[in-house]
Amino acid sequence: MKRRATALAVAAVMAMSMGMTAFAGETEGAASSDLAADITLWTYPVGGYGNSENVDGLIKAFNEKYPNVNVTVEYLDYTNGDDQVNTAIEGGQAPDLVLEGPERLVANWGARGLMVDLSDLFADDASSDLYENVSAACKSSDGKYYEYPLCMVAHCMAVNETIFKNADALQYLDIDNHTWSTENFFKAVQAVYDSGQENVAAVYCAGQGGDQGTRALVNNLYGGTFTNAEHTEYTVDSPENAKALQALVDQKGINFDASLVGGDEIQLFRNGTLAVSFCWNAAQQNNTDNGEAGKTNNGDNIIPMQFPTEDGSAAKLCGGIWGFGIFDNGDADKIAASKEFIRFICNDPDQAKESVKVSSFFPVHTKMTGVYDGTDIADTMTMFTEKFMPAMGDYYQVVPGWTEARTAWWNMLQNIGNGADIQSELTAFQKTANEAAKA
C-alpha cells in the first residue's frame, strides 16, 4: 500500500510536467429530465466546502442539468459534526449524502452497514483513471465501495521564516526540497527557543482535530508506524515511537498542550505565538482569511515543510482523501438522485475541475490536470504537487476501531504531557486500539 501511495503522487507530478490532456469523462446514469427527488447533503468543512456560497454554486450548476432534484445542505464542523450525524442516524433521519473521508464513510458508517454500495459508480468509464490507492481507500473489507472520491491532499507542517531567520535557524532546513533531518529539526527548535521564542511548537491534544499532524510528527522522527501494512492492527507501541515522544518531551520550546486542537494551533501560528505548525497543507498555505496567502497575520512568510526524518529524506505524509457517501435510507429515488449528484460533481467533464477547485486540494483522477492554471494559487499548487504529493504515505485511516484509536491517541498525548511514563502509555494505547479493532 505504501508503494502504491508513492506511485500515485509521482504520477500526479508526471501528469503536470508532461502537460497531459485535461480530464474528460463521460457520465452515465439516469436522464436528467426523468430524475426527481428531494435529497439532503451534509458536508464537513473540506476546503471550501464549508462555504455556502461555493456549495450553492455547485448545486446551481447541478440543477441546470437536473432541475427536478432539490438539494438541501447542512454544514458540519469537526467539533460536533460526528455527534450530529450519529444523532440523525439514531433518529432515523440520516442525510442522503455526506462529504467526508474513508475513515468515516468506509471504516465507520460503511462498516456498520449504513451506506449504499457505490460499486456501479466505480464501473463507469469516467472512473477508469482514478488513482489505484485512492480507490482502494474507498473500498471496505467486504468488497463494497462506500465512498466516491473527489479530491486529496498530503498534510505537512510549516515554519515562520522571519522567526527562523532571526534565530539563524534557516540553516537547518533544506528549503529547496522542503525537507530536514530529525537532528536538524531539533537544532532549529533549540535555536528559535534560545532566541527568545518560548513557545516554538505545540503538540496539541485537546481532541482529534488535526491529529494527522501529531501522528505524522511522531512516526516520521525515527521511522515508526501507526498501523501494519495490512490495516488490521495498530503498531504504535514501538521503540521508534517511544524515542520520538521522549525527544519531544525533552525538547525546550515544544509543549504538549491539552487546551488546543489543530485549528487552535493554526491560529496561534498565524498570529506569531508559535513559530511552527504541525497542522498544515496547501489549503492553509493559500488561505487569505487574515491577510495575504502564504503569510502570517503580520506578514511573515510561511515555509511549508515535510515532517523531519532521521536521514532528512522525504517523509511519509498523512494524506486526506475526500468524497461522497450515500446513507441507505430505503428510498430508491433519493439514492438514484444522490448517485447522479456524485457523478455530476466528481466526473462531469465540464464540472469536475470546478468541484476540485472549490476544495483547494488536488484531483483524484490521473488525467485531470491544470485545475489551478491561471489562478492566483497556481504556483503554490505546483509546488505542493512537486514537493509534497510524492511524499503522501499509506492511507491507514481505514483500520477497524479507528474512532476509538483516535480518542486513545490524544488521551495518550495528554497523559504524556502531564508526565506519565511514555512506554506505559504506548502499551495502553495499543491495547485499547487493537481491542477496538477486533471488536
The enclosing H or E element of 279 equals strand 276-280
pLDDT at 79: 83
- Are residues 365 and 277 part of one domain? no
DSSP 143: S
Measure the CA dihedral 146/152/155/161, to 10°: -160
Same domain, 97 and 160: no
Looking at residue 23, its pLDDT comes to: 53
pLDDT for 13 beyond 50: no
Are residues 118 and 164 both part of a single domain? no
Show which of 373, 391, 409 is a domain's final residue.
Answer: 391
pLDDT for residue 34 is more than 90: no
69-110 pLDDT tens trace = 999 999 999 889 999 999 999 999 999 999 999 999 998 999
Q: Which three cell numbers stand for residue 253?
A: 520550546
Residue 153 contacts residue 391 (beta carbons within 8 Å): no
Average pLDDT over residues 285-312: 96
User: Picking from 13-17, 44-48, 271-275, 346-350, which range would have the lowest pLDDT averaged per residue?
Assistant: 13-17
161 shares a domain with 145: no
In terms of DSSP bridges, do strands 69-75 and 37-43 run parallel, antiparallel, or are they unpaired?
parallel
What does pLDDT average to over the chain? 92
Distance CA 115, CA 121 (A): 14
> Grid coordinates standing for 211?
491529529
pLDDT > 80? residue 5: no
Taking 90 as the threshold, does the pLDDT of residue 303 lie above it?
yes
Instruction: Round to whole Å and give the CA distance between 313 and 319.
Output: 18
Supply 53's cell numbers: 456560497
Q: Which of 57, 107, 427, 439 is nearest to 242 (CA)?
A: 427
Residues 55 and 107 in one domain: yes
Co-location of 144 and 14 in the same domain: yes
**pLDDT recorded at residue 11:** 44
Q: Is the separation of the CB atoms in 389 and 178 below 8 Å? A: no
For the chain, how many structural domains are there in total? Answer: 2
Cell numbers linked to 51: 462555504
Provide φ and ψ at 296, rounded to 5°.
-75, 180
Do 168 and 222 fall within a single domain?
yes
Decide which of 391, 414, 429 is a domain's last residue.
391
Do 136 and 184 lie in a common domain? no
The per-residue pLDDT for range 175-186, each reduced to its tens digit, is 999 999 999 999
Q: Give 365's strand partners.
A: 130
Residue range 341-369: average pLDDT? 95
Question: What whole-number distance in Å separates Cα of residue 62 and Cα of residue 151?
Answer: 18
Q: Are 327 and 98 in contact (CB under 8 A)?
A: yes
Counting residues of the chain whose pLDDT is more than 90, the rounded percentage is 87
Which is nearest to 265 in space by CA: 222, 195, 212?
212
Spatial neighbors of 254 by CB under 8 A, at least 6 apart, are 189, 200, 201, 202, 203, 248
Residue 29 has pLDDT above 80, yes or no: no
Q: pLDDT, tens digit, for every residue of 221-236?
A: 999 999 999 999 999 9
Question: In the prediction, which pLDDT does 141 show?
Answer: 84
274 & 237 share domain: yes
pLDDT at 31: 54
SS3 of residue 42 by DSSP: strand
pLDDT at position 14 is 39
> What residues make up the domain containing 144?
2-154+319-391
Q: What is the share, in percent, of the chain residues with pLDDT greater than 70? A: 92
pLDDT tier at 142 (50, 70, 90 boundaries)?
A: confident
Q: Are residues 272 and 333 in the same domain?
A: no
User: Is residue 209 located within the same domain as residue 181?
Assistant: yes
Cell matching residue 285: 498555505
CATH of residue 168's domain is: 3.40.190.10
Does residue 145 sit in helix, strand or coil? Answer: strand
* pLDDT value for 4: 38
CA dihedral of 184, 189, 190, 191, whole degrees rounded to 10: 90
Model pLDDT for residues 426-436, shown as the tens digit of each residue = 999 999 999 99
- Pair 115, 105: CB distance under 8 Å: yes
Look-up of cell digits 534565530: 167
Kindly state whether residues 49 and 160 are assigned to the same domain: no
The pLDDT assigned to 2 comes to 35
By C-alpha distance, which of 254, 251, 219 is closest to 238?
219
Report pLDDT for 439.
85
